Amino acid sequence: MLGGSRLLLAGLWLLGSFSCLRGDAGGYRRKVTLQSVPGSNSSSANLLHVRAVGRNDTLHYVWSSIGAPTVLLLYSRSQSSALRVNWTKLLSASPAGAIWIEPPSSVVYATAVVFTKVFEYSGANVSALSKGQEEPFYPPYDLADFSWQSVNHTVNQTALTAKFQGVNTSDPGGTLGNGTISFQVTAYEQGGRDGPLPRLLHTANSSKVEFIMDHVAPRGNSSRFMLEVVTVEEKGGRKKLQSVRSIDDEYTPTIFEMAQLVSEPRNDSIGPSFFQWKTTAYGSREASRENAIRCRYHPLQTANRTLPEPSIAHAYFGEGLGRSHHIAAINISFGGEDGEVYAEMGYLSWSALLGFGPPPKDAFSPLVMAIVAVALGAPVVLLLAGGLVVLFARRKRHSQYEPIN
């Protein structure tokens, strides 16, 4: 009986491990290219194009540090659709129409995500922040005022990554110190899960952005930071803020919540777009549970929102952006009353996923399911085996009696 139980345990463990390996293999695959768009004489006028070609469509992610850091997400029904840029117009005071996809009629859905400002506030009075009071805030860092290094030097076409790194040149007081703010972009050819924490689950229809603050000098003893994110939806569409909770923290220890902005799908064939993150950041390049930083998100703001200029969103959507599109903003803050990780390490990293279709949803891995099956199945097996032993013992005892003639 004991030997049989051990065999059952070993078999279920091997089955779970094999299934886990198969689950990580991914399925649908796109042909992805990531390259800097040439044509600008300015090293800080960066334009990065991620082109992901599928069976009958193409996803275009256009990243830029011209003005506020922005990414355009464009869904095209053509495998041969291509990005076009009029650099002279793009860098002018009226950039409307400077960016488009050829042929224009192939684009059936377009949205944008803009990273506008970084706020710094006093963590000694976090309750005031939750009530919407402005007293704890220092003057914000406007990311449109930053000077960005050339993205050319960071493009890795093998790993499909690139990095926008900026410094605040408009700050005469030097409050940023020698620190930098960066946005690292990662594209994916197929579904899978990142190795480093927070180990986001991604699909072939998504990309990742990592917001990094490196040695930005705090202006107070209890400083916390907050990133403002603005989204743009075409007329008739809008984003919804959702919280997805789970009892499973297998992939991101101690984190049980996923937050996401999801657009209303235009029709069944296109599906929604999403911007998704786990409610944690990290205070070291080697992310771990020990240097986790609490991450909060605040209510989605939709009333009377406008998109600050300049941004490549104006170059693609045109001059009527504020009137013909739905604009929403959300603030994501890092840190709370429970730690001073950033002050100690001088580093903060927060990751988010963006893309098309239903947002990826974490589920119990096959390995965990196998362990649960063992935990629930082993007692049943032992009970059945014990019952059989008792039954055979009784039959043997009765068989020892001789019949009386």
Question: Domain map of the chain by residue range?
Answer: 112-312+323-356, 369-393
Beta strands per DSSP E along 290-324: 292-297
Whether 73 contacts 111, CB under 8 Å = yes
Q: Quick check: 402 pLDDT over 80?
A: no
**Most confident residue range from 103-107, 318-322, 360-364:** 103-107
Average pLDDT of the residues in 69-95: 96
Q: Which among 89, 83, 87 has a CA at the least distance from the CA of 41?
A: 87
Average pLDDT of the residues in 265-288: 86
Q: Which pLDDT belongs to residue 303?
A: 74
Residue 290 three-state SS: helix
> Angle at the Cα of 62 (from 232 to 80), degrees rounded to 5?
115
Beta strands per DSSP E along 168-319: 180-187, 192-193, 201-202, 206-214, 223-234, 239-245, 257-263, 273-278, 280-282, 292-297
Over residues 142-159, the pLDDT tens digits come to 999 999 999 999 999 999
Over residues 101-139, the pLDDT tens digits come to 999 999 999 999 999 999 998 876 655 555 555 557 899
Token pair, residue 263, equals 């657009």
At 304, give phi and psi (nearest 5°): 55, 40
Question: What is the percentage of the chain residues whose pLDDT exceeds 70?
Answer: 79
